[in-house]
Amino acid sequence: MITMSPDVTLAGKIPAIIVFGDSSVDAGNNNYIPTVARSNFEPYGRDFVGGKPTGRFCNGKIATDFMSEAIGLKPIIPAYLDPSYNITDFATGVTFASAATGYDNATSDVLSVLPLWKQLEYYKEYQTKLKAYQGSDRATETIENSLYLISIGTNDFIENYFAFPGGRSSQYSVDRYQDFLAGIARDFVKKLHGLGARKISLGGLVPMGCMPLERATNFGTGGECVGRFNDIAVQFNGKLEKLVTRLSKELPGSILVFSNPYEPFMKIIKNPSSFGFDVAAAACCATGMFEMGYSCQRNNPFTCTNADKYVFWDSFHPTQKTHQIMANFLMNSTFSHFL
């Protein structure tokens, strides 16, 4: 396991990490809303502190937890809706993310999870609580100096566009749908900036065609990655990158960075052994091909014993070790911009 020693120089400059997005960065918000998109049961969390499931779609910690720890803040970023935490915890980091959501409201409707606009509403509520807790001046300082991470978009394609033939795919070509999503991303970043955020990282998509779920259903290719989905991820990332360049000129006093996980993730998938992995095509949980959420059952005899040997934990989500490697990469490539 890679160790990430706390960087005290960063901690002084970044008082908190504020997170928006989907299951890649949800630490358990979905436990507190009526949805089936949950992971607050075993074997999820088996390698987390105390071996307990938290609602993270992982066997342990996720990338944002590692980032928080690495900049000298707390070792985990708590979920805003988790009643066991309050503003004293959230003052140094909080996630509003909701598994199975997307930029598109129609994506969040599929499994009744928090749409992106609702996450922003919760953030406004958070600001009010922060001002009451820290005082107006200090809270304004915290808001301006905090690091804002956005990680979302995969579900818009996998769970929505390609899942419902009569839905968005009948309204938009893939290219136009990407433009539609990028427009929502633009509006979201502008609203965040309007609320005081100045250090914003907009995350891109991973090679979604290489998720075990997609490989398992890619019949006739021997379980290869689905090239079309990977091409879409690359194309959409290109649009987001251009968007960030444009917004950087539009939004005064802001540092906007496009954080692209595609290439580093693809390196892990293509050369798993060089990162200490044995398996990249199948996941640790159950058969490793189709299961996630409730189908990733505690007593499944096929579940692997050592998740550190697997790139993926379930058919959709990476293991703690993969999250840590990705966090390390993003710390080195992205965070330097915010100093």
Going by C-alpha positions, the residue among 114, 125, 97, 122 that lies closest to residue 34 is 114
Burial of 77: CB neighbours in 10 Å, binned 0-12, 13-18, 19+:
buried
Q: Among this protein's residues, is 337 annotated catalytic?
A: no
Kindly list the distances between the CA atom of residue 206 and the CA atoms of 73, 152, 279, in Å, as whole numbers in the listed order: 26, 10, 18
Residue holding tokens 């996720």? 62
Structure tokens at 43: 């074997």
Q: Which of 22, 23, 146, 323 is catalytic?
A: 23
Residue holding tokens 């907009």? 202
Long-range contacts of 317-321 (CB under 8 A, 24+ apart): 317/23, 317/24, 317/57, 317/58, 317/292, 318/58, 319/58, 319/59, 319/60, 319/284, 320/47, 320/48, 320/58, 320/59, 320/60, 320/61, 320/62, 321/1, 321/276, 321/277
Going by C-alpha positions, the residue among 96, 90, 208, 91 that lies closest to residue 160 is 208
Q: Which of 22, 201, 317, 323 is catalytic?
A: 317
Q: Among this protein's residues, is 23 annotated catalytic?
A: yes
Q: Which of 259, 308, 314, 315 is catalytic?
A: 314
Q: Hey, which residues are catalytic here?
A: 23, 314, 317
